[in-house]
Amino acid sequence: MLLIDYNLAPTFEPQQELRKGTEFWLHKLDTREENTSMNRRDFPEDFVFGTATSSYQIEGHGLGGAGPCHWDSFSSTPGNVVRLENGARACEHYLRYREDLDLVAEVGCSAYRFSTSWARVMPEGKGKVNTAGLDFYDRLVDEMCARNLQPWWTLYHWELPSALADNGGWANRDTALRLADFAHVMADRIGDRVHAAAPINEPWCVAWLSHYLGHHAPGLKDIRMATRAMHHVLLAHGLVIEAWRGQGLENLGAVFNFEKANPGTNDDVEAAKEYDGIYNRWFMEAVAKGQYPADILAGLEPHMPNNWADDMSIIAQPVDWVGVNYYTGKRLTRGVSGTFGDIAELPPHPPVTAMEWEICADWLEEFLLRVDLAFDGSVPIYVTENGMASHSGTDDLDRIEYLKQHFKAARSAIDKGVDLRGYFVWSLMDNYEWSLGYDKRFGLVHVDFETMERTPKASYHWLQALLKN
Ligand code: GCO
């Protein structure tokens, strides 16, 4: 196995040659003809291909007796979400899940990554259960099994019940304990059929993005709340793993999101290192090694909850696999010199996606190698999310090219010895992209948000040809 010593200090890459702008990039391609350049046999036979979604983004939170969650109130507060859009209707997957699972099966995937809404199952976050909610997930899992799709379950993908938000949400340690209760109730019902499970989707988003940057619910910008959330979300991960093991569940993992931290200039190496520490190292090192990176802890320690170190053994329980959610990287500089966490982003280099996210498949390969190294090469890895938002409608040649490049990067990581076992495309269909509402379309399948009609895009057909080849 190739070992790379990242030494966790990013290096500055001068802008020798700007990658080509998206338009030029697209002109070069006739991706449909190039279909043959990649094929299913490039990956091991038992390699898992899947698509991913999350509950609040697709189900229609207004359906089926779900309780209010913090995304409902955050999105109804002006300035937080474009056009005050929310997930009340979303893709109406709650009603159309059979049709949606048909689409996953027909594209040729063998797995489907979904999440369970806490507020749908426990409208108050604890105690009384909404039977219709539990029944929904029971049917959903049955329908996956009926289509030979492995159910890949994420317990929590961000819709915190409002009753728990009222008590301080992730800044309150109690929320971690309550999540473990929810995990237990859910696993009692669907644990016998799920193929793999992870407690939390993207702890960085739950903590830093939502409590320090304020971009996601609850929209806080408070270092103390953020620090507590940084720890409690990991504690929740550990408590849920513990609860599930106690119930006999197997194949339990952790899903992290990663972003390449590039120094904007030669003077920005420290800023990039700090960004990398908060974003990439904090969560991964806590789970892999049971410790927080010292440079980041130095900034956060004054705000850490009492006796936090006692929780590290719960957090670092062994996992059976690690999920990598990867989309992009940033070019960073220091905002106010010397202030912890004050890091500014410089413009991305083209090509970029509709999110203005720089496209670079090499960084995916780098993270796959890095995660492998962090876990001492001992844990299977899955790409649990990767994909792009595009404005190109159903003729999404850009998405085909994006996926092709990233599949190749994944293949290359396997060649270098990474035990990569699967790849989930984000996302099955266009959906609610959080504070960016319904404009940012990540789907392999187009959704008309008026009629709810689903139309497979060119990328869907490309993937189908690849997987059935
Ligand atoms: C995330 C989430 C998804 C997003 C996707 C595109 O990474 O933010 O897992 O809910 O929709 O990543 O931003």
Q: What is the pLDDT of residues 409-418, one digit of tens each?
A: 999 999 999 9
pLDDT class for 74, splitting at 50, 70, 90?
very high
Cβ neighbours of residue 436 under 8 Å, at least 6 residues apart? 81, 82, 355
Flag whether 95 is in a domain.
yes
115 Cβ closer than 6 Å to some ligand 1 atom:
no
Residue 14: band (very low, low, confident or very high) from pLDDT cuts 50, 70, 90: very low
The CA angle 363-385-217, to the nearest 5 degrees, is 105
Q: Considering the domain boundaries, does residue 5 fall inside one?
A: no
pLDDT-based confidence at 264, cuts 50/70/90?
A: very high
Q: Is 102 exposed, middle or buried (0-12, 13-18, 19+ CB in 10 A)?
A: middle
309 against 1, higher pLDDT: 309
SS3 label, residue 425 = strand
Q: Is the CB of residue 19 less than 8 Å from the CB of residue 350?
A: yes
- What ligand 1 atom has the least distance to the C-alpha of 205? 8
Going by pLDDT thresholds of 50, 70 and 90, the confidence category of residue 18 is very low
The token pair at 190 is 């669907």
Range of the domain at 359: 14-467
- Is position 7 within any domain? no
* Confidence band for 174, pLDDT divided at 50, 70 and 90: very high
**Atom 10 of ligand 1: nearest residue by CA position:** 54
Q: Which of 202, 259, 365, 366 is catalytic?
A: 202
CB 71 within 8 A of CB 81: no
Pairing of strands 321-334, 343-346: antiparallel
Q: Which atom of ligand 1 is nearest to the CA of 389?
A: 6
H/E run at residue 467: helix 458-468
| Residue 301: active-site member | no
Is there an atom of ligand 1 within 6 Å of 426 CB?
yes
Per annotation, catalytic residue among 159, 259, 274, 385: 385
Position 100 in a domain: yes
- Which of 385, 388, 428 has most ligand 1 atoms within 8 Å of CB, for mutation? 385
* Residue 45 token pair: 């036979």
pLDDT (average), residues 216-228: 98
Contact 115, 201 (CB under 8 A): yes
Residue 180 lies in a domain: yes
- Does the C-beta of 112 come closer than 6 Å to ligand 1? no
Model confidence at 20: pLDDT above 50:
no
Ligand 1 atom nearest residue 201's Cα: 9
Whether residue 342 is contained in a domain is answered as yes
Alpha carbons 26 and 395: distance in angstroms, whole number: 12
Does 161 map to a domain?
yes
Beta carbons within 8 Å of 182's beta carbon, 6+ residues apart = 118, 121, 122, 125, 126, 155, 156
Q: Residue 196 pairs with which residues in a beta bridge? A: 152
| Domain CATH for 308 | 3.20.20.80
336 vs 53, residue with greater confidence:
53
Torsion angle, alpha carbons of 203, 95, 61, 139, to 10: -50
Question: Separation of 276 CA from ligand 1 center, angstroms?
Answer: 19
Residue 386: inside a domain: yes
Rounded distance between C-alpha atoms, residue 173 and residue 315, angstroms:
14
Number of domains composing the chain: 1
